[in-house]
Amino acid sequence: MKRVAVVILNWNGKKFLEKFIPWVIAHAPDYTEVIVADNASGDDSIAWLEKNHPSVRIIRNLSNGGYAKGYNDALSGLGHEYFVLLNSDVEVTANWIDPVIRMMDADPRIAACQPKILAYHNRTQFEYAGAAGGFIDKYGFPFCRGRIFDTYEEDTGQYNDTKEIFWATGACLFVRSALFRKAGGLDEDFFAHMEEIDLCWR
């Protein structure tokens, strides 16, 4: 079995699979399995995937239970050492997996991790979803390095360091499978959004 499962949750997302999954496949190291977990899509995204990318493993969830349930159901049957939860609309680049896995291998205290995430339509600016790592303020409001509310920073290399964070974004979440299970997975009361913050808190 391969060590890392890159799992993309899909619901009627053929346009995203067409655009972005070729990059995921092209930049997947040999120790990585690319998996699409489908939340009972009504479009032809899975038929398209089977025809055009037969190397991708498909997990068919019985219903669209949202992000948390969709991932919990899909990951429950996987035995990989690491999970990478990757949004279907994220474009990955060369060497996006190796540095993170090397770092997590070297430090067993790291439960979860994320890379920097830049905006797709403005590559010099941080993306809303996670930016350069998440924190939470004394009032309980989450925020990110590189993005405060709806204000985004330009990426000038100011966050190229490795830093301990409070939460890693669910848009591209590296997590040890054993700790994901020990924490009870994602809380399914969160249909979409904030579930990764809750998981990392635990």
The arithmetic mean of pLDDT across residues 18-42, rounded, is 98
Per-residue confidence (pLDDT) for residue 168, from 0 to 100 = 92
Strand partners, 148: 151
Per-residue confidence (pLDDT) for residue 61, from 0 to 100 = 96
Cα separation, 169 vs 29, whole angstroms = 22
Tell me the domains of the chain and their CATH numbers.
4-113+168-201 (3.90.550.10), 115-167 (no CATH)
Asked if pLDDT for residue 191 goes beyond 80, the answer is no
Asked if pLDDT for residue 23 goes beyond 90, the answer is yes
Could you tell me what percent of the chain has a pLDDT over 90? Answer: 72
| 106-162 pLDDT tens trace | 999 999 999 998 988 888 888 877 888 888 889 988 888 888 778 888 999 998 999
CA angle 46, 51, 53 (to 5 degrees): 85
Contact 184, 75 (CB under 8 A): no
